[in-house]
């Protein structure tokens, strides 16, 4: 029987797939401003402290450099006022009720067992392949 993979290996694998899926799903464009630059960043809307939020597809959005870090109204802007401006754009994109749902999930993230993690990796691989078939890589 094959050796059971380490949890950290599974999480890394699943996160890599999460990023790929967020990119393909967004059509390789910034989901806030529509920019199609080379460097796009899959961003976690409500952070990624828990494994659940790290791997949750609804918590992902694809951003250009400007919307991610560099712009005045970026997700990781230096000033709170900039982050607040970004937050307004996220509300427009996701809707307030969906953001509330994500926020509450962040506060009480469900646990993911190792067996579920293995299942998630397999599901994400299948989803990525389906998306690639439909939209191209």
Check residue 40 for interaction with Zn ion (CB under 5 A). no
Check residue 73 for interaction with Zn ion (CB under 5 A). no
Tell me the chain's radius of gyration from C-alpha atoms.
Answer: 16
- The one among 64, 90, 102, 112 contacting Zn ion by CB under 5 A: 64
Check residue 10 for interaction with Zn ion (CB under 5 A). no
Check residue 33 for interaction with Zn ion (CB under 5 A). yes
Question: Residue 96 corresponds to which tokens in the numbers above?
Answer: 């307030």
- The one among 14, 26, 67, 77 contacting Zn ion by CB under 5 A: 67
Q: Quick check: 76 and 69 in contact, CB under 8 A?
A: yes
Check residue 75 for interaction with Zn ion (CB under 5 A). no
Check residue 35 for interaction with Zn ion (CB under 5 A). yes
24 vs 64 by CB, closer to Zn ion: 64
Check residue 90 for interaction with Zn ion (CB under 5 A). no
Give the C-alpha separation, 47 to 66, whole Å.
18
Angle formed at CA 97 by CA 94 and CA 102, multiple of 5 degrees: 75
Report the candidate in 78, 55, 44 with the shortest Cα–Cα distance to residue 8: 55
Residues near Zn ion (CB under 5 A) are 30, 32-33, 35, 64, 67
């Amino acid at each position: 029987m094959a050796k059971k993979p380490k949890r950290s290996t599974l999480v890394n694998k699943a996160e890599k797939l999460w990023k790929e899926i967020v990119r393909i799903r967004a059509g390789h464009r910034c989901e806030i401003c529509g920019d199609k630059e080379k460097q796009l960043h899959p961003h976690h809307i409500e952070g990624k402290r828990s494994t659940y939020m790290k791997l949750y597809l609804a918590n992902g959005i694809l951003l250009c450099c400007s919307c991610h870090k560099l712009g005045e109204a970026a997700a990781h802007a230096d000033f709170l006022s900039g982050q607040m401006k970004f937050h307004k754009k996220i509300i427009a994109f996701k809707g307030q009720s969906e953001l509330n749902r994500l926020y509450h999930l962040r506060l009480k993230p469900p646990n993911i067992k190792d067996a579920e993690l293995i299942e998630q990796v397999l599901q994400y691989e299948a989803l990525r392949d389906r998306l690639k078939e439909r939209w191209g890589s």
